[in-house]
Structure 1
Amino acid sequence: MPVSRTEVTVHVNREATDTLETDMPALEARGSFALHLQGHDTPAHVHCRLNGDRRFSQIVSIDGPNYYVEANDMITVPISVAATDIDGSLEGELEVLTGYGSESVTIDVTVKPKPATVDIDESFSKPRAETTTEQSPLEQALERASAVGLEPGTLALAALGVLALGIGVSTAATIGGPAAMIALLVVVGGVTTALALVLS
């Protein structure tokens, strides 16, 4: 079963001249990965190539085919995978050869598309600002009156009645006498009657 990795190592001349070894016979990639050519006892010429169908060859590419690996040195070979251009798995092989092709090791490569990314609106991570609107005393009074079923027109008439009463009281206090008091009582009676008719 392929193992999902971003790198694979091939040991060159670890046991003897013209030998190649890897502990990963299969690799699963969702993007570009690296091939490490790890030199050991003696230097060697190494050839790398990719095998697969036309689609695999279009998606997967190797940086270069030929490398000279010094003893106890390591060379990293980039393997490019354009996984964003595929919508399903692709299978091929990565082959490493030495000794003029007399020795080779093959690694099965399965390329899978990268997981789809989900764009998250940053506004979701911010706490929602609470909109608090200060109401004037008049607005608060109108809101309370609406809650108990009083119409704005009724409230306006009541305000005019209170104003008329205020004017009547101040006039009666200023003029004085029985005529002023009678006029005040007429105003009070008119306002009371008008309010009673509106509220009924």
Structure 2
Amino acid sequence: MSTLDVELNGEAVHDIDAPDSFVTDGPFPVVLDNSGRSTHVHLHFDDDLDRVARVEEGNHFVADEATRRVHVSTADVDEPVRGKLKVVTGYGSNTRYVDVRIDPSPESSNESVAVDETLSAPPERAPEAPRGQRAVNALDRLVQRGGTAGAALGLVAIAAGVALALVVDSLLVSVAVGLALMIALGAVLLAVT
């Protein structure tokens, strides 16, 4: 991967030292190496390059004597694309232009993708299992998901609730147990689907 190195604040405040030209055949980083005080750097591609190269953010803060890597993504091109990268520091007080050329990638120009005709056909659905087998499959999925302990505790809780409702003989307790049964049934259905 090619790297575009840019030195900031090298000889003077807001100084920009960058190569006159840069050539790449794919994505690349712009390495902003700050030799002095913290600064803001603005990166901008001209119209020709802007169609095939992208920087997520145009403005970048580089701390005192720090280095910041800015990723530039590029689109696949069929023929070389030329343009300028504008590098600005000091809120416009200093500007430097780099001639950039993006060449076709060697991998993309030699590769072809074969498409099988079966990809356009809808997937075949498995035949539906008989009703009894579906229940067995649902219980099997519940056990495979580790729901055996939860199912056993749920059954014990339901049995205790039904026993309590029969012993107390209260409408409120019967409604509460019925509600608990519906919640338990819903949980079991969620667990097996």
Contact 1:48–1:94 (CA<8 Å) still a contact in 2? Answer: yes
Which runs of structure 2 are paired with 1:51-130 in the superposition (5 Å)? 51-53=46-48, 56-83=49-76, 86-115=77-106, 116-117=109-110
| Partner SS for 1:100 | helix
Contact 1:52–1:91 (CA<8 Å) still a contact in 2? Answer: no
Which runs of structure 2 are paired with 1:112-191 in the superposition (5 Å)? 112-115=103-106, 116-117=109-110
Q: TM-score, normalised by structure 1?
A: 0.52
Which runs of structure 2 are paired with 1:8-27 in the superposition (5 Å)? 8-22=4-18, 24-27=19-22
Mark the structure with the bigger radius of gyration: 1
Amino acid at match of 1:114: S
Aligned-residue RMSD, C-alpha: 1.6
Runs of 4+ in structure 1 deviating by more than 6 angstroms, as ranges, are none
| Partner SS for 2:44 | strand
Query: CA offsets, 1:63-101, max 9 Å, x none?
Result: 211111111100000111112xx2111111111101111
Amino acid at match of 2:58: P
Q: TM-score, normalised by structure 2?
A: 0.53
Unaligned runs of 5+ in 1: 120-200
| Partner SS for 2:91 | coil
118 and 59 in structure 1: CA distance in 2 versus 1, 3 angstrom threshold: closer
C-alpha distance in structure 2 between counterparts of 1:19 and 1:118, whole Å: 43
C-alpha distance in structure 2 between counterparts of 1:118 and 1:64, whole Å: 32
Query: CA offsets, 1:6-36, max 9 Å, x none?
Result: 11111111111111112x2111111001100
Amino acid at match of 1:21: D
| Partner SS for 1:41 | coil
C-alpha distance in structure 1 between counterparts of 2:111 and 2:39, whole Å: 47
| Displacement of 1:117 | 2.9
87 and 38 in structure 1: CA distance in 2 versus 1, 3 angstrom threshold: same
C-alpha distance in structure 1 between counterparts of 2:59 and 2:10, whole Å: 19
Aligned residues: 110
C-alpha distance in structure 2 between counterparts of 1:70 and 1:88, whole Å: 38
Matched, 1:37 2:32: yes
Amino acid at match of 1:71: D
